[in-house]
Amino acid sequence: MARKKEHYEFKAQSYLRLLKYAAPYKLRLTIGIIAGFTVAGSLFGSFMLIPSIIKGVVPEGNDTKMRDEKAEAVLQAVENPSLATRQQKLEAASEALQSKKSPDIRQKVEDFKNKAKSYGITLPIVYHNNTLVLDGPVRLSVKIEDEQGKMHWQFFSIFVVGFIMLWFMKNLATYINRYCTRWVGTKVVADLRNEIFSKLLNQSLRFYGKIDVGQLISRCTNDTAAIESAVANTIADATRCPLEIIACGTAIIYFSAKNNTIALPVILFIGLPVAILPLIILGRKIRRIYRKSFANIAMVVSRMHEIFTGILIVKAYNAEEKENQIFRSVNRKYFRNVIRAIRAELLMAPSMEVVAVTATLVFLVYSYAQGVTINTLAQLMIPAFMAYQPIKQLAKIRTYAERSMAAADRYFDLIDTDTSIKEAQNPVPLDSFNSEIKFNDVVFSYGDTLILDKLNLTIKKGEVVAVVGETGSGKTTMANLIARFYDTNSGSITIDGTDVRDIEITSLRNLIGIVTQDAILFNDTIANNI
């Protein structure tokens, strides 16, 4: 027999409603977002230092491609038939080497000073004899190159220290981002718990007569816990990961343009949509499964609540084994749904890894075929590898988001339910009971079951009235109507001539003492129970 497909309506407004709960904490959220920008900025800055660091370890003069180009230029100059004398060939070879030499450092310094000057900044730096001099209140000098033209260790240390400082800033900003955003996420969920508890306290007894208490407990605990674990993590990652990806992508594009290597950006922009495709397809499935699993765990909690509450009856009728089998069946359904969701979740990361590894290998094959140097390859591949982790985090963000929205839909369904007893616009305070309680043609029913049909009754002050009848005849209902735990379908109940619906609820119940059939003790002190 084919399984009936469950209809699930996606409630997009749940996203917006959750965001409104974060509005009171916008300052912390703003600090977290600014920290996310700082993470991206320091990450991009560290990428900009990579070429200089690589150059310090592997000088351009030792680069295979550069060496081959210099050798080729010298060979062409020497073999030029128009050059007759040895001196002419030496001069031509020297000019060829100069043409293949890296741009003059002095010129680079002047270009940098001119660029800063265009922004209104005057830099007091001078280049002299392979040494960079800071000619300010404190005179500092850093040697850039040694006699062999290799980067001096002092100048190389500046890039290393700068990289360390940028990396420290990145990790500090990451900590601030995660702390602030997770604080907001956790506080939002605490507010959600407070709101739903307050909402449930104000629901009428008619509401509690229709819904299972175990279901309510599950929604207050399991559903909000799912929202908490998701929201606290997703806000942190969602405010940081996209910025990190943008920083890595910008660095890749910059170095690709600088080195005339457009293959990696092309592979990246083709591969990224393919990598995100599993998130879109599996994400919808995960949300639908988790919504069903939340309903299943609510059934598990409900069953446990019923059995533990009525444990005396279960033991009296030797029904332990029967109830055990029923619970196992309910728990098995929940397990199967969770496993289905886990299967979908676990497919996300491998799918993205396959795309990432494929794109990397394709680029390496292309680089090998084009003879791309190690320096150029490192400049391009380091940002690409750094981008992989935040892209992978997006898979978790999507999973957490779908899980939290499935729980949020159920949460807001409960929040939007309002069966509370409405107080009159200008309620009458009741300070004392002076005369009589009167039922006037009272009609009341639970759903389609009629309990009281045009009941008329007068109870004078000082009388002791006992109402006798079989189970379900309406004895408890009469007391509940006087205390206004329910409202009548028609007719009215008056106290000293005032309709109970016009009386202030707090003052009404302050005059009523209730002794239930079963004594209930709260898990609190004796004084508080009294």
Higher pLDDT, 94 or 30: 30
Mean pLDDT of 201-211: 79
3-state secondary structure of 319: coil
Measured distance CA(465)–CA(512) in Å, rounded: 15
List C-alpha distances in Å: 470 to 41, 292, 443, 525: 77, 41, 19, 37
Structure tokens at 330: 């309910």
Measured N-to-C along each axis, helices 263-309 and 320-370 cross at an angle, to the nearest 10 degrees, of: 170
In eight-state DSSP terms, residue 428 is B
Alpha helices, DSSP H only, in 58-102? 64-78, 86-99
- pLDDT for the residue numbered 141: 72
Instruction: State the Cα angle at 283 between 244 and 403, rounded to 5°.
Output: 90
- Per-residue pLDDT, averaged over 467-479, amounts to 84
CB 234 within 8 A of CB 426: no
> In this model, does residue 10 exceed pLDDT 70?
no
> Where is 446: in which H helix or E strand?
strand 436-446
At 482-497, the pLDDT tens digits run 888 888 889 999 998 8
Average model confidence (pLDDT) across the chain: 76
* The pLDDT of residue 55 is above 80: no
For 111, list phi and psi in degrees, rounded to 5.
-60, -40
Q: Which residue has the higher pLDDT, 143 or 80?
A: 143
- pTM (predicted TM-score): 0.63
Mean pLDDT, rounded, for 193-203: 83
pLDDT at 318: 81
Amino acid at 478: M
Q: How far apart are CA 50 and CA 375, in angstroms?
A: 9
What 3-state DSSP class applies to 302?
A: helix
Q: What stretches of 202-240 show up as alpha helix (H) in DSSP?
A: 205-210, 213-218, 224-238
How far is Cα 419 from Cα 422, in angstroms, rounded to an integer? 9
Give the pLDDT mean for 293-319: 76
pLDDT value of residue 252: 82
- The C-alpha angle with vertex 170 and arms to 164 and 174, in degrees rounded to 5, equals 145
Residue 457 has pLDDT above 80, yes or no: yes
Q: Are strands 131-135 and 139-143 parallel, antiparallel or unpaired?
A: antiparallel
Q: What is the mean pLDDT of residues 324-340?
A: 83
Task: Give the Cα separation of 252 and 261 in Å (integer).
Answer: 10
Whether residue 501 is predicted with pLDDT greater than 70 in this model: the reply is yes
Question: DSSP code of 149?
Answer: S
Distance CA 489, CA 494 (A): 15
Nearest to 43 by CA among 355, 389, 527, 472: 389
Stretch 209-237: mean pLDDT: 74
Task: Give the pLDDT band of residue 443 (cuts 50, 70, 90).
Answer: very high
Angle (CA) 207 213 217, round 5°? 115
- Residue 22 pLDDT: 81
317, pLDDT greater than 60 = yes
CA dihedral 278, 279, 281, 284 (to 10 degrees): 160
Q: Are 222 and 294 in contact, with CB atoms under 8 Å apart? A: yes
Regarding predicted confidence, which is higher, 118 or 164? 164
Alpha-carbon Rg for the chain, nearest whole angstrom, is 38
pLDDT greater than 80 at residue 425: yes
**Confidence grade of residue 207 (pLDDT, cut at 50, 70, 90):** confident
pLDDT-based confidence at residue 326 (cuts at 50, 70, 90):
confident
Distance CA 239, CA 466 (A): 66
The pLDDT of residue 523 is 67
The encoded tokens of residue 217 equal 């407990």
The per-residue pLDDT for range 238-257, each reduced to its tens digit, is 778 888 888 888 888 888 88
- The yes-or-no verdict on residue 183 having pLDDT over 70 is yes
What's the pLDDT band for 272 if we cut at 50, 70, 90? low
